[in-house]
Structure 1
Amino acid sequence: MNSVRSPIAAALARKYFPGRLIARSAGVQSGKADGFVHEVMEEVGVDMSVHTPHTMDELVANRFDLVVTLSPDADEAVRKRGLEMGALEHWSVSDPTLVEGNREAVLSAYRTLRDTLQKKVRERLEPLVASRSASSSQSA
């Protein structure tokens, strides 16, 4: 639905690697912006108020260096779509929208997702960005 997991991951990628990569998020289906996402991302200095959910059909580009899926449905949809990509990875992460309980329990689930994605984004993209920077400086 492009309202929770991939928007968080894309926003974190833009936060940690500004101007060094293009990060997009898209879902299998359209959805609505999620208020809990806005709240937990503000806690780490990321403004999600401008996020508008998008579907994969809205992607303009058809070539990607790396595609990361965050749900089994998205993984299947990407494979069927036949995008040109350097790599396809599936990161199995929790879905905080499935958590029941009081507000604090739900927020805790969103924070856990954010923190998990923060770690995965940095660990995966740092070497990719560094290798691109190295190859750019060698060709200059």
Structure 2
Amino acid sequence: MNAIRSPMAEALARTMLPATVYIASAGVRQGRRDPFVDAVLAERGLTLGERQPQRYEDLEDGYFDLIVTMAPEAHHVALDAAGTSSVEVEFWPMPDPSVVTGSREQILDAYRDVLKRIETRISGRFGR
């Protein structure tokens, strides 16, 4: 729903990759902004600004060299959308931290873990 993992990835990628790289995140369905995402990004000095969750079909530009998905449903939708185009589609499976229960700190730890996993994948993939 473009509310947790992909906005985290977008925020990280904007700081880790050159400014010349076009980065956008989108989901299969419209979601709501997740306050835990804002909290863990703020811990790193990152922000989504005024950005709101969006769907893939709402993106201004539909041409990409690479689409990264982090949930099985999103991966299947991305493969269908890519069709016969030359875009690469990669699946980086990430846990959904929104299913974690417990104290606020335990929930934040789950979000921090996902953020770190995404950071590691970006670094490994792009050498940053």
Q: With structure 2 as the length reference, what TM-score do the two structures score?
A: 0.92
Query: Percent identity between the aligned chains?
Result: 35
2:92 partner letter: W
Which 5+ residue runs of structure 1 have no aligned equivalent? 128-140
CA distance in 2, matches of 1:75, 1:13: 19
Deviations 1:96-130 (A, max 9, x none): 00111111110000000001111111211237xxx
C-alpha displacement at 1:82, in angstroms? Answer: 3.0
Q: From the CA coordinates, give the structure whose radius of gyration is larger.
A: 1
Aligned structure 1 segments of 4 or more residues deviating by more than 6 angstroms? none
Structure with the higher helix share, 1 or 2: 1
RMSD after superposition? 1.5
C-alpha displacement at 1:27, in angstroms? Answer: 0.3
CA distance in 1, matches of 2:30, 2:73: 13
CA distance in 1, matches of 2:86, 2:42: 32
For the 8 Å contact 1:67–1:85, the answer to whether it is kept is no
Report what 2:126 is aligned to: 125
Deviations 1:12-69 (A, max 9, x none): 0001124131111000000111100000001111012322100011123232111100
Structure-2 change in CA distance of 1:99 and 1:85 (3 Å):
farther
Report what 1:44 is aligned to: 44
Structure-2 change in CA distance of 1:64 and 1:85 (3 Å):
farther
Q: With structure 1 as the length reference, what TM-score do the two structures score?
A: 0.84
Structure 2 counterparts to residues 1-140 of structure 1, below 5 A: 1-82=1-82, 84-126=85-127
1:31 partner letter: G
Aligned residues between the structures: 127
Which 5+ residue runs of structure 2 have no aligned equivalent? none
